[in-house]
């Protein structure tokens, strides 16, 4: 009996693993609000990462025929630097991130990483290099440790703890009845918005990617948590090629480059100081935000 049961149990275990993996992949896509649109031919080589320089060259894109979303978008993010994208709601900021992750292919132009067109490398190797800290992190109905290790499922517990410490969520986790094995979600502990962001941050720290996409949360946390998280993000972004989709200008003052999008066009670019000096769209957004108006309404 034992001989028969063991393989069946093992199969059950494997089935559960596969099923969970599938559910999670779906959730991840839901989280990115995307249906994968790209059909990839088999056998594409891995992305060969050298410095992680990203170039968008004359990129045009539309989700639906006849409704262009991006027009002739060109920029380079030199290796290890940060570019921040600002602009009103629907101006195309998140679309840039989706294209970089290759959920869609560009309609015209190209996106290259270290000179390699991302259409010519396999998407698994591409996404392996990119960490995403999304606006709203969806936590899986599983333990806190699982949710952090999602960035790198093979990570040892000690590495999970180190990442949690770096994201300053370790003390909160340790205070839970079952520590890292405490379940979150429907049947588990309630997690606040700030704690969720920290878990997402720990996930990204654990993944340790050379490229980072940070989709800033629109829902404001309290000022203190926000500053603390911002400091951690700045640390994470250091020496990584980073694309920030910004909703608050105050957080991107130090970005190496800022691009301002309007209806899918880049209308301005520069540093915070040079853009203020230009006294154009960015300066106007800055002024509005200084007076407490959300960018989305600008």
Nearer to ligand ATP, 206 or 260 (CB): 260
- Give the footprint of ligand ATP on residues 46-65 (CB under 6 A): 63-64
For position 95 contacting ligand ATP by CB under 6 A, the verdict is: yes
Is residue 82 within 8 Å of residue 291, measured between CB atoms? no
Q: Which is nearer to ligand ATP, 99 or 167 (CB)?
A: 99
Q: At what angle do helices 193-207 and 223-237 cross, to 10 degrees?
A: 10
Residue 294 interacting with ligand ATP (CB under 6 A) = no
Minimum distance, C-beta of residue 266 to ligand ATP, in the bound complex (Å): 12
What is d(CA 127, CA 119) in angstroms, rounded to the nearest whole number?
12
Stretch (H or E) spanning 212: strand 211-215
Q: Which of 234, 163, 243, 249 is nearest to 200 (CA)?
A: 163
Minimum gap (Å) between residue 62 Cβ and ligand ATP: 8
Minimum distance between the CB of residue 65 and ligand ATP, rounded to whole angstroms? 11
User: For residue 128, what is the enclosing H or E element?
Assistant: helix 123-128
Q: Which is nearer to ligand ATP, 70 or 155 (CB)?
A: 70
Q: Is there binding between residue 178 and ligand ATP (CB under 6 A)? A: no
3 state SS of 260: strand
- CA 35-38-39 angle, 5° bins: 120
For the bound state, the minimum distance from the C-beta of residue 98 to ligand ATP, rounded and expressed in Å, comes to: 7
Instruction: List CB contacts of 97: < 8 A, sequence separation 6 or more.
Output: 132, 213, 215, 243, 245
Select from 55, 81, 82, 94 the one that contacts ligand ATP (CB under 6 A). 94
- Note whether 102 binds ligand ATP by CB under 6 A: no
Q: Which of 74, 89, 174, 178 binds ligand ATP (CB under 6 A)?
A: 89
Based on the shown chain and the rule CB under 6 A, indicate whether residue 87 belongs to the binding site for ligand ATP: yes
Chain contacts with ligand ATP (rule: CB under 6 A): 63-64, 69, 87, 89-95
């Amino acid at each position: 009996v034992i001989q028969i049961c063991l393989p069946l149990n093992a199969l059950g275990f494997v089935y559960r693993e596969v099923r969970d993996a599938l559910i999670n992949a779906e959730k991840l896509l839901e989280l990115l609000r995307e249906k994968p649109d790209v059909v990839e031919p088999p056998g594409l080589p891995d992305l060969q990462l050298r410095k992680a320089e990203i170039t968008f060259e004359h990129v045009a894109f539309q989700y639906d025929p006849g409704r262009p979303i991006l027009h002739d978008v060109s920029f380079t993010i030199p290796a290890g630097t940060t570019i921040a994208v600002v602009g009103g709601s629907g101006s195309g900021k998140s679309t840039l991130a989706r294209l970089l992750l290759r959920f869609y292919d560009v309609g015209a132009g190209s996106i290259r990483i270290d000179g390699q067109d991302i259409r010519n490398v396999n998407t698994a190797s591409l996404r392996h290099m990119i960490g995403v800290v999304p606006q709203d992190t969806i936590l899986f109905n599983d333990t806190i440790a699982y949710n952090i290790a999602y960035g790198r499922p093979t990570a040892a517990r000690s590495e999970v703890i180190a990442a949690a410490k770096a994201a300053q969520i370790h003390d909160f986790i340790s205070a839970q009845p079952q520590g890292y094995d405490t379940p979150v979600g429907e049947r588990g502990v309630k997690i606040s918005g700030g704690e969720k962001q920290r878990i997402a941050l720990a996930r990204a720290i654990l993944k340790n990617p050379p490229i980072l996409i940070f989709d800033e949360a629109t829902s404001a946390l309290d000022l203190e948590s926000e500053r603390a998280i911002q400091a951690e993000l700045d640390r994470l972004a250091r020496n990584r090629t980073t694309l920030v989709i910004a909703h608050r200008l105050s957080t991107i003052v130090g970005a190496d480059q800022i691009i301002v999008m309007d209806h899918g066009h880049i209308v301005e670019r520069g540093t915070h100081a040079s853009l203020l000096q230009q006294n154009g769209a960015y300066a106007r957004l800055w002024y509005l935000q200084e007076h407490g108006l959300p960018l989305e309404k600008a």
